[in-house]
Structures are given as structure tokens and as C-alpha cells.
Amino acid sequence: MTATTQSLELFAWNDRFLTGVDLIDDEHQRLVHLINRVATLHGTSADSAEARAMLEELIAFTGEHFSHEEQVMDGVCDTRFVMQHKVLHRKFLWELEKIRLSDSSSSAIEYLLRFLSSWLAYHILGIDQSVGRQLRKIAGGMSPARAFEEEKSHVSDPATSSLLNAMQNLTGIISQRNQQLTELTTQLEATVRERTAKLTHAVHDLRLRNEELLTLNKQLAEVRQQLLQAEKLASIGSLAAGVAHEINNPIGFVKSNLGQLASSLKALLAAIERDGVQLKGIDLESLQEDIPELIRESQDGITRVVRIADDLRSFAQIQESGVPGWTRLSVLMDGVARLHPALVSGRVTLARNDSAPVEIRCVSAEIADVVSAIINNAVDAITHDRGRIILRTGSGTDDAWMEIEDNGKGIPPDYIHKIFDPFFTTKEVGAGTGMGLARAYGIVRKHGGRIEVRSSPGSGTVFRVTLPRGE
């Protein structure tokens, strides 16, 4: 309400309300004032917030007032009268609570006003006047029991009695109306809860179906990616076999010829030096130093080409195998690793740390795919010029393991639990599908194994793949 709202006086305080107990009379005056404020709210169509605040204030004050009244009566008045009075107090507070729980609309204020009006007239003009009379008799020397018995036969003036009876009947009607209102509210709330539960269940079912569709879409995308990857690997395998075959023969000739050339040049230079032959315009001493070194470098280069050809042939044999077979882990890892461009170019060095040779029964093409995905991830994580990848293998009683460690930038803690999720990638758009490690995880699980990762930013990463050895 605003400051200009005019107060409505539903009750005017007069001497007929006095009980003779100062504390009770003062609080009755305050109670009359509060009821008049309720009337003002009703007359000005106050909003629900103001009505609820008024109701809360009324409940708090009446609870305090009833406590004071009971303290005045306790130990003084007859216990039967005190108990009757306390029961009336509890009923009043219960009615207010029901109104509070129903709503704070204008209709609720109207019911509240009717209830307060009837109750105030009945209680103050009736029962509380009886408190005053009994207290005065007891103060004059009468026993509490006799004062109570005499009060039963007390007859008020006809006008007051009629008014009290009417107000008591009105209070009962309002109380019944409040009860009906509470029951209707309870039924409405139950209906709302039931419909809300049905709606929640429907939304839950819809969310589950949506999640199922998303899962199916992801699985479909993963299968499609696996098929594309399998086709690529098969094509690369065929190409690798052809390249290895074509390289092998001419490299064999070159390697053999270099060996023969080295022997011949060595013999020639020795004969020239022994016979003291002078070659005009030729520095024989430089030739004796440079020619063997050039031949050694050429032989080293040829050896690297031969190793690459062998790796290509091994890779091709792996891709051609789609059924389980016995595979030596160290050979498989080495063959896959040496084909990576970063390792071939020397940007990243490769080191090995194997225990005794370990063989497992697996689909070697798929395990090679796992190794390739992890090595790709390791190479991408190495952004400096001192890159190093270490390959390790080992075994337990029933299983074998392989580790791939890099000295790259490591994986942030927030990403560790996501790296095996399909389509998760930290690469730029177009630089990766996010399927490599997800496919690797699926292959390892398919083989009955597990894949673990240890990493911290700036300290590199270690992937360990543990697989059953098979029978």
C-alpha cells in the first residue's frame, strides 16, 4: 500500500472489550488494530505479497499474545478452564495456517476478514471476559475451582449473548469453508503433481529416444569411418607391397655394385700408391680420404632404403591379415613406426626398450591401426626439434603390453577422459576427424584388452595397451 491509502476502521475499541488485565487489554488493542489493517487491505485490493506479509505478521503476533494469556492463567485459574482456553487458541492458529497455505488472493483476504471479525467478537467479548472475571474472584479469595463453576452459570446481557451466539455460528461456517478450501487446494495440488509427473515421464522418454538416436548416429559415423579407414589401409597395403617388390630388385643391384665398387677402388688406390704412379692434376691423398667416405654414406643410404622396403612389405602383410594370428609386438610396432614421415625424416627419433620377445594372438592389421593412431597422436604432440618416441613391450602371466611414450606437450587434465570419445579432437578444423584414438579404443576392447594413458602438461604422454596373449 502507498502512504496515501485511507485506513478502514472495521472495529472501534471501547470499554466493553476490557478484561481488567492490562497486558491482555493492551494486546487486544493491538489485535483490533491488525484486523482493521486487514480490512484496509481488502478494501484497496492489495496484491498477494502485501496480503501474505499481513497474514504472517498476524500469525506471529497472535501466537505471542496467546502465550502471554496462558502465562497469566497458568497456576492461577482452574486447569479445566486453562485447557479449554488453550484448545481455542490452537484452533484459531490452525485456521490461520490453513488460510495461509491456501492462497493470498483477494478472496482469501475476504475469508480471513470474516473469520477474524467473528472470532474477535466471540473471543474478546466472551471467553476473555470470563478470564477477567475469574481472575478477579480468585484475587478476592475464591478458589479457582469455585470461580470456574460460578462462571459456568454466568449469564451475559441478552444483546451480548445473541451477538456471541451469532459470531460463534459464523466462525464455524467460516472454519468449514476454510476446510473445504484446503481440501480443494489439496485435490488441485494432487492433480497438478499427477500431470506434472506424466509430463516429466514423457519428457524423460523423449530425451531417452533422442539420446538413442544420437548414439546410433555416432555409431553409424564410427562404422563408416572404420570402413573408409579399412579401405584406405587395404589400398595402402597393396601399394606398399608393390613398391617394396619394385624397389627390392634394383636396390639389391645397387647395394651389390657399391660393395664391388668399394673393393675395386680400394685396390686401385692401393696399387697407385704402391707403384708411385703420378696422376697429373689429381690430389691422390684427398681421393683416398673422400672416396671411402662417399661409398660408406651411399651404403648407409641404401641400407635405409632396404629397411623401408622391408617395413613396407611387413605393413602390407599386416593389412592382408583379417583373421587372428600370432604376432610379435616389437616387430609390429617397429614396422608401423618406421613408416611415419616424422620418423623417416628424422624430425623425431625412435628408441626401443624391449624385454624378452612377446607374441600374442590377434588381428595384426587392427593392432597395427592402434599403434599407428597412438604414434600419430604422439608426433602431433611434439612441437619442438628434440622429439623422441620410445617403444616398449613386456608381458605378464596371461597378457602382454606395449607402451608408446613421447616427450611432447602432454594432455591437459580436462581432456584426459575425453581423448577416446568419437570426434573429440584439439586439432584445427580439417586437420583431424577425432576418430583415431576412438577407433584404437574400440579395437583394444574388441580384443579383450584395455588402453591406459598417463600424462601431464609439459611432461609428455605414455600410452599403454594391454592385451591377452591368446591360446
Rounded Cα–Cα distance for residues 269 and 301 (Å):
24
Confidence of residue 342 (pLDDT cuts 50, 70, 90): confident
pLDDT given at position 118: 66
pLDDT given at position 463: 94
Strand (E) or helix (H) holding 354: strand 348-354
Say if residues 395 and 367 touch (Cβ distance below 8 Å). Answer: no
* The three cell numbers locating residue 397: 602371466
* Domains of the chain with CATH codes: 15-154 (1.20.120.50)
Rounded Cα–Cα distance for residues 245 and 252 (Å):
11
Say if residues 342 and 387 touch (Cβ distance below 8 Å). Answer: yes
Confidence of residue 160 (pLDDT cuts 50, 70, 90): low
Confidence of residue 433 (pLDDT cuts 50, 70, 90): very low
pLDDT in tens, 102-156: 655 555 666 666 667 667 766 777 778 888 888 989 999 999 999 888 887 765 5
Among the listed residues 153, 157, 135, the one whose alpha carbon sits nearest the alpha carbon of residue 144: 135
Rounded Cα–Cα distance for residues 5 and 60 (Å):
24
pLDDT, greater one: 389 or 13: 389
pLDDT given at position 3: 40
pLDDT in tens, 196-213: 888 888 888 888 888 888
DSSP 3-state of 276? coil
Mean pLDDT, residues 385-396 taken together: 89
pLDDT given at position 464: 94
pLDDT, greater one: 240 or 449: 449
Residue 447 phi, psi dihedral angles, 5° rounding? -85, 5
Q: Has residue 250 got a pLDDT over 70?
A: yes
Residue with cell 472495521: 10
Say if residues 467 and 447 touch (Cβ distance below 8 Å). Answer: yes
Confidence of residue 277 (pLDDT cuts 50, 70, 90): low
Among the listed residues 54, 59, 61, 15, the one whose alpha carbon sits nearest the alpha carbon of residue 38: 54
Say if residues 448 and 366 touch (Cβ distance below 8 Å). Answer: no
Strands (E), 204-335: 325-328
pLDDT, greater one: 50 or 203: 203
Q: Has residue 470 got a pLDDT over 60?
A: yes
Q: Has residue 344 got a pLDDT over 80?
A: no
In percent, the amount of the chain with pLDDT more than 90 equals: 9
Contacts of 409 (CB under 8 A, 6+ apart): 381, 382, 383, 457, 458
pLDDT given at position 291: 77
Q: Tell me the range of 19-33, 163-177, 345-359, 454-468 where mean pLDDT is highest.
A: 454-468
When the pLDDT of each residue in the chain is averaged and rounded to a whole number, the result is: 77
Confidence of residue 302 (pLDDT cuts 50, 70, 90): confident
Amino acid present at 173: I
Torsion angle (degrees, nearest 10) of CA 49, 55, 60, 63: -160
Q: Has residue 9 got a pLDDT over 80?
A: no
* The three cell numbers locating residue 110: 475476504
**For the packed helices 158-275 and 106-122, what is the interaxial angle rounded to 10 degrees?**
140
Say if residues 302 and 254 touch (Cβ distance below 8 Å). Answer: yes
pLDDT given at position 405: 94
Mean pLDDT, residues 23-45 taken together: 79
Residue 60 phi, psi dihedral angles, 5° rounding? -65, -45
What's 458's DSSP letter?
T
